[in-house]
Structure formats: structure tokens, C-alpha cells
Structure 1
């Protein structure tokens, strides 16, 4: 598998773990010192941070397990990512991708609930690509982050 494809697969595993609310699987994709920051769009090309950064795979796992709202009874979520821009430079890589998250409900309702960009740095650790920095650039503040 090419490095570019392996990097893209990390994102595929990330969004599937998010959709399943699987904190252990999602946390395993990050380095121990990774930083995850969530931002909300404030204007053309400008974003404001929301909350404090999550640190490392353990921080990601904790956030998924403690703060992500469960799916409604009989419902689920599905991420769609597209337009992956991937640059690999030796043991480091950068990935930028657009995303839309859809909520699906048993009443045959599918609706978009989140959108934006993932801006992600990765590092090869023990032969595996791991996320070392992950910025979620939301177009609007998702319901789970609103106070």
C-alpha cells in the first residue's frame, strides 16, 4: 500500500470509530503527544478555537467515551469525507479533507448535522501512521458543543 493510501486509511478508520462512538479504536490512531483542536468558522477563512485541546490518544478516547452524545434510539451517524489532499515527506504526512456528518433516524430521515474540514498531521510510529495533530474546522458549532 502506498504511503498516501495508508494516510487516507487512517482518516477512514477515524471517521468509522467516531460513527461507532468507539473511543478505544479512535484513540489508538493518535500519538501519545497528539493535539486535537476543535474550531468554529467565524468568517471567510477564519476560525476560533472551541474549548481546550485534547492531548494524546488517551485524551481522545476519554472525550469520545465521556462527551460525545449517543446516537438516538435506532439511529446512527455517518461521516462522508472527500477531496483528500495528502502530502508525504519521509516519516511525516499532512492530510486535508472535507467532511459532512449525517444523522440517520429510524423514520427514514437522513440529515446533515456537521460539516467542515479536517486538517491533520501524521507521523510514522513503529511502521504505522499515527495522527500527531488534528484540527477540526467546523462550518458551524455542532449541537454537541453548544452550551
Structure 2
């Protein structure tokens, strides 16, 4: 694979770990001292923070494994990324990609079974988040890892207090 393809694959694995709520899957994607920022466009060309930055791979793994709520049975999140802009300078790289996150809610099978004529996937898919991922990556021992990751939301995003 080219450096560009490897960097895009890091993001693909990151969003899959996000969808499965698997911090353990993040271990090989992040530097030990990774910095994660969650931001929102302010409508004036700037950004405002939505939460305190998170630093350290162990912190992020703990958030995913122990603090993020598991999906309800039959529910899922599905992140889609596109328009990947990648630059590489030796062992440093950057990635800018657009994202959309869809909430998937499957319809439970009725106890009396599906009605005659029912066909295809049953449930609702709702777009829930959109924005950009901006990542700075470093290559160490031949492996690309995220060192600084910014999640920049397009829409207002409310983070619960507490």
C-alpha cells in the first residue's frame, strides 16, 4: 500500500472502532500521547471547543471501553468518510476528511413473524452527525498512527454536563 492508502486505512479503522465502541481496537491506531479535540464550526470561519481535549491513548481506550454507552440491541452507528485529502512529508502525514454518522435502528421482528410481503432491511437510518476529521499522523516502526485528531462538527452539538 502507498502511504496515502495506509493513512486512509487508519481513519477507516478508527471509525469502525468508534462504531463498535471498542477502545481496544484503537491501541494500534494512536500514539501513546495522542491529543483528541472535539470542536464545532462557529459560523465565522473559526472553531469552538465542545469538550475538554483528551490526551493519551490509555485515556481514549478507557473512554471507549468503559464510558461510551453500548448500542441498544438492534441499534448501531455507522460512520462514513469521504473526500480524503492526504499529505505526506517523510514520517509525518496529515489527513482531512468529511464524515457523516448515521444512527441505525433495526425494527424488531414481530412475535407473530413478519407480515406477508415484507421484504428487505427493516428499520430506520437517520443522519445524525456531520463534519470533518483533521488528523496529524506519524510513522513509527513502519506504522502510521494518529498523533493529533480533531473532530469538527458542522451542526450544533450538545455535550451533556456532568
Unaligned runs of 5+ in 2: 108-122
Q: Is 1:114 aligned to 2:134, yes or no?
A: no
Instruction: Tell me which structure has the larger Cα radius of gyration.
Output: 2
Written as runs of structure 1 = structure 2, the 5 A alignment for 1:2-13 is 2-13=2-13
Which residue does 1:86 correspond to in 2? 86
What SS does the aligned partner of 1:16 have?
helix
In structure 2, how many angstroms separate the alpha carbons of the residues matched to 1:142 and 1:42?
A: 11
Secondary structure (helix, strand or coil) at the match of 2:66 reads helix
Q: Could you tell me how far 1:65 is from its partner in structure 2?
A: 2.1
Give me the TM-score of the superposition, normalised by structure 2.
0.84
Query: Is the Cα–Cα contact under 8 Å of residues 36 and 134 in structure 1 kept in the other structure?
Result: yes
For residues 66 and 35 of structure 2, the distance between their equivalents in structure 1, rounded to whole angstroms, comes to: 18
Query: Could you say which residue in structure 1 is the equivalent of 2:63?
Result: 63
- SS class of match (1:52): coil
Greater share of residues in helix? 1
Please report the RMSD computed on the Cα atoms of aligned residues, expressed in angstroms. Answer: 1.4
What secondary structure is seen at the aligned counterpart in 2 of 1:146?
coil
Structure (1 or 2) with the greater strand fraction: 1
**Matching residue of 2:115:** none
**Residues 1:124 and 1:72: Cα distance change in structure 2 (over 3 Å):** same
Unaligned runs of 5+ in 1: none
State the distance in 1 between where 2:131 and 2:160 align: 16
How many matched pairs?
146
Provide the C-alpha distance between the structure 1 equivalents of 2:137 and 2:145, rounded to a whole number of angstroms. 5
Q: Secondary structure at the match of 2:73?
A: coil
Give the Cα separation in 1 of the matches to 2:105 and 2:127. Answer: 12
Contact 1:30 1:57 in 2 (8 A): yes
CA contact (8 A) 1:121 1:133 kept: yes
